[in-house]
Amino acid sequence: MSKQPQIIVALDFDTVKVALDFVEPLSPTQCRLKVGNELFTRGGPDLVRRLVDLKFSVFLDLKFYDIPNTVAQACLAAADLGVWMVNVHALGGVAMMTAAQKALQPYGTKAPLLIAVTALTSYNDSEWQGLGFKQDINASVLHLAQLTQQAGLDGVVCSAQEVALLRAQFGPSFCLVTPGIRLEDNAHDDQQRVVTPQAALAAGSDYLVMGRSITRSPEPVAVLAKLNEAIDLRL
């Protein structure tokens, strides 16, 4: 078992009870946990604190995107919850991201990782350009990642399809978190830019966000064990 789990399980459940029941048999040595908009809206800070108290590394995935001061204060609130990672939208711009990064500086080594969302994995090129962007997704993600690094953040959320490009550009210390990870026999659901765990890791992903492949499995602990074994064999 890897000492630092690379799998982040997305707790995309519609009730707090279902989420906590799912988490109960899991171990913090197996995985980290992601709390997104749906579950946070239902469970709020109390749920996040409960997961942190259970010794899980929690990725608070609320994609903050607002004026710089508001985002900075939201990141402070996340840090006060004891989360391991929090994110903002890179589209908010350098000033917004810089404000968030500076707000967390007083926490020193206890500050959560701060990353920025580039382009959601639910977009394909046609939909992305339909929003008015002249560049394709790859070029846009690279540009947004450059802005993120300029603002001093720890890394980005991106599709695994862009990981090799970003790893070559930014080196090994820039954190790359990749959602849209599916096992080979899983449905893609609403994700467009989907990659298997093996391909994502080979490309250079640091952390794999996996939801339905694990949460909809009748044996999620067994699925996690197999995934972690495959990861350890690569080390």
Indicate which residues carry an active-site annotation.
63
- Give me 147's structure tokens: 């802005």
- Give me 187's structure tokens: 């449905």
| Residue 58 to residue 81: CA distance in whole angstroms | 10
| Residue 153 to residue 137: CA distance in whole angstroms | 21
- Give me 83's structure tokens: 């989360």
Neighbours of 9 (CB within 10 A): 26
Neighbours of 72 (CB within 10 A): 22
- Provide the strand spans (E) within 72-215: 85-89, 113-117, 155-157, 175-178, 207-210
Length of the chain: 235
Enclosing H/E stretch for 142:
helix 137-150
Cα distances from 49 to residues 21, 44, 57, 104, in angstroms, run: 16, 9, 11, 19
